[in-house]
Amino acid sequence: MADKEIRARLALSYLDGKGVGPVTARKLLSFFGSASAVFEAKVGALQEAGANAKAAGAVAGFHETKKIDDALAALEKVGAHVLCVDDEAYPASLRRLNDAPPVLYVHGEITPADSLALAVIGTRKPTPYGLRVTRDLCRKIAECNVTIVSGLARGIDAEGHSGALDTPGGRTIAVLGSGVDVIYPKEHAGLAGRVSRNGAVISEFFPGTPPTPNNFPRRNRLIAGLACGVMVVEAAEKSGTMITVEDAHRQGKPVFGVPGPIDSPVSMGVHRLIRDGAVPVFEAADVLENLLPEFVRREELPPPARLDVEGYKRSLGLTGDAQLVVEALTLEPQHVDEVARATGLSAQRLLTILLELELRGAVNALPGKLYVLNAVAR
């Protein structure tokens, strides 16, 4: 695609939010045949093509060439590229959406293999159980050449990506609610780098766009759109996760739910989904048999892994007080006072050891002075 056309596509993307959203942009592209021709058209012709007065005025009056120069420089700096809706590599599943983005910004590569994908979503404040099962399920699903799609958020999203990355050759795609050059949250910059080397970090938002709240519902429709189905792990009844579920329903995609404890607030939304028809997930086969019915048979999959907690504790090779602390911990959160009673250590000594174990990755510190054995990091 010629440089002039690329710049015109970026100009359309820049005008998103100024009246020229994805639906209007696709109408204009369809009517005029190219973005270059869109920006050469008069206001009357733009309105005839389906743009309202505000959008037509924004296109006809566009002169922000420096914004385009800056965007191209930002993309080059992070190693991202532009994928247009009529490019062969543009995901076919997204192209079918009425509001498909006219431009995707991609750091990494989207391949034909990514057409078989599972979206994995859930709370940003998961329990240790949620973290553990998300990573384990995503690892096993990725082993069967299913790409894991999520939003790079804290909690379940990050564990979904990490589960895919735990698998040799596993692929994952992260969809951002900000520009592709604006990683959010910032502490996931390293994870985003790993994702881009084993899949792609993508965004429909113009480079430099900050992660504002209005962006995330739009981001969520792309997460659902890229996937063949959506799996939910730990979600309250009223949460942003349910927006993605609604998108999946509108797109005719199956929804999977991972059950949790019946009295867990973060599993209430999942239990409601299961009650309303979502497929309950007790092991990876429950998802794979739906996505790959002609290939996957339950008896061909290894049985669900059972963590040898005591063996894991021994593998850390700890001695003295550190060993005492680890032996007192379990896969369920415990208050620091409980750990102190179990070990007989002073508060100062205990907190020092817990910090050392946390830095080593053996222990997770949770809000409320709770601590849990970090079996996910084994």
pLDDT in tens, 290-326: 887 644 444 454 444 444 556 666 677 778 888 888 8
Q: What is the domain partition of the chain in residue ranges?
A: 1-63, 108-300, 309-377
Model confidence at 210, pLDDT cuts 50, 70, 90, reads very high
Higher per-residue pLDDT: 39 or 237 = 39
DSSP one-letter code for 180:
T
Please tell me the least confidently modeled range out of 55-59, 251-255, 355-359. 355-359
> Over pLDDT 90: what percentage of the chain?
62
Work out the widest C-alpha separation in the chain, in whole angstroms.
81
Beta pairing, strands 147-150 & 199-203: unpaired
Task: Determine the Cα–Cα distance for residues 266 and 35; give it in Å rounded to an integer.
Answer: 45
Whether cis (ω within 30° of 0) applies to the bond prior to 126 is no
- What's the rounded mean pLDDT across residues 24-52? 92
CATH number corresponding to 108-300: 3.40.50.450
DSSP one-letter code for 377:
G
Beta pairing, strands 81-84 & 103-108: antiparallel
- What topology is assigned to 309-377 in CATH? Arc Repressor Mutant, subunit A (1.10.10)
Give the pLDDT confidence of 222-264 residue by residue, as tens digits. 999 999 999 999 998 877 788 899 999 999 999 999 999 888 8
| pLDDT surpassing 50 at residue 377 | no
What per-residue confidence (pLDDT) applies to 313?
A: 64
Q: How many CB atoms lie within 10 A of CB 265?
A: 13
What per-residue confidence (pLDDT) applies to 216?
A: 92
